[in-house]
Structure 1
């Protein structure tokens, strides 16, 4: 139980954010109206994804320094889990865009950047499956992963701020903090962010442990 406190905390925080996100009070806003509730679901997915990709980069660096297969397994499972949150972020974002902007995928630099970043990490997984020799696969994918992370940050957070974008905080638009975040939203929003990050880390750790079991079983066979 002592080792599982953060998992329980994550479940509780996500449960609170879901209930409060669906039933709690929200400010009356033009255009957004009740869709502002999606801030509890869409944005935390991206926070969790970024943290998981960052974990993956850290373990890719560790692998290049140590050569330990465990570090490589953690790196790839962090990406595998991050892709799940990326997909949920894209789906909730497309739903929100369809209601707010009139189409699920308008020509927006942040949306296009997110599509490129997603393909980039899917290419990382394809690269791993294309290489059979374990050490070569681990080294090449680790190097790819280290370079992919800063490119993803540029695509999602830097380029949209340098051009016109529909998203808050980009292209001269105000941020959610400026426009929509108030005492009704802010506590639930940060609860959702922390909760989903904890859940994402938990899923990653479970996938990692499963891979370790498979590795040990293969070594025995």
Structure 2
């Protein structure tokens, strides 16, 4: 039980936020209206992605010094899971954009930089598949990952703030502040972030264990 409590918590939080996110009241805001409920799903995907990419770069750094196959596998599987959540973030954002901005993709700076961030990690997987020798692949991929992570941070959290954007808080679009994100939304939003991060970590651990078992049977 002491090893599974966080998995139970993850499941409970995600079920709670899915139900409460659809049923509880939300602030009535211009442009956003009822679509503000997507905040409970769209933003947590990005938070989970960033946490998983952080795990990935940590194990990439470790693998350079330990030369451990397990560390390399942890790095690639956490990145794999992070990309899944990044894609979900793009998709939920595109659906949200369709109902608020009128089209799925408006080439908004935050949309563009988010897509480029994912391409950085697609390139990571392409690089790994292009190298046959195991130790060389692990080393080069780890070095790439170490440089890709800060680039991802800049693309997601720095560059978009330097340009006008349709996203909340920019370009006349209402922002999420202490008045918008009221107590009702906080009761759902914070559990949603924690729940999806834990689900992401759970998926990553399953992928890691599966890969270890596959390697043992080779």
TM-score range, shorter chain: over 0.9
Note the C-alpha offset of 1:177: 2.5
Match of 1:202? 202
Describe the superposition over 1:41-62 as per-residue Cα deviations: whole angstroms up to 9, x where unpaired: 0000000000000000000000
Match of 2:65 in 1: 65
Superposition deviation, residue 35 in structure 1: 0.3
The offset of 1:29, in angstroms, is 1.3
Structure 2 Cα separation of the partners of residues 164 and 179 of structure 1: 22
CA separation of 1:191/1:178 partners in 2, compared to 1, >3 Å: closer, same or farther? same
**Alignment of structure 1 residues 119-130 onto 2, 5 Å:** 119-130=119-130
Compute the TM-score of the two structures, normalised by the length of structure 1. 0.95
Which secondary structure does the structure 2 equivalent of 1:185 belong to? helix
Cα deviation 1:2-33 (Å, max 9, x = unaligned): 10000000000000000001111111111111
Partner of 1:30: 30
Alignment of 1:63-212 (within 5 A): 63-169=63-169, 175-178=175-178, 180-212=180-212
Cα offset for 1:193?
Answer: 0.1
Mapped partners of 1:170, 1:94: distance in 2: 17
Q: Is the 8 A contact 1:14 1:196 kept in 2?
A: yes
What CA RMSD, in Å, does the superposition of the two structures yield over aligned residues?
Answer: 1.4
Deviation at 1:171, TM superposition (A): 6.7
> Structure 2, unaligned stretches of length 5 or more?
none
Partners of 1:172 and 1:25 in 2: CA distance: 24
Distance 1:171 1:32 in 2: 14
Equivalent in the alignment of 2:10 = 10
Q: Structure 1: which 4+ aligned runs deviate by more than 3 Å?
A: 169-175
When normalised by structure 2's length, the TM-score is: 0.96
Which 10-residue stretch deviates more, 165-174 or 70-79?
Answer: 165-174
Structure 1 residues not aligned, in runs of 5+? none
Relative to structure 1, the CA distance from residue 154 to residue 172 in structure 2 (aligned partners, 3 Å threshold; closer, same or farther) is farther
Shift of 1:186: 0.8
C-alpha contact (below 8 Å) 2:108/2:166 kept by paired residues: yes
| Count of aligned pairs | 218
SS in 2 for 1:176: coil
Contact conserved, 2:30 with 2:174, CA < 8 A, in 1? no
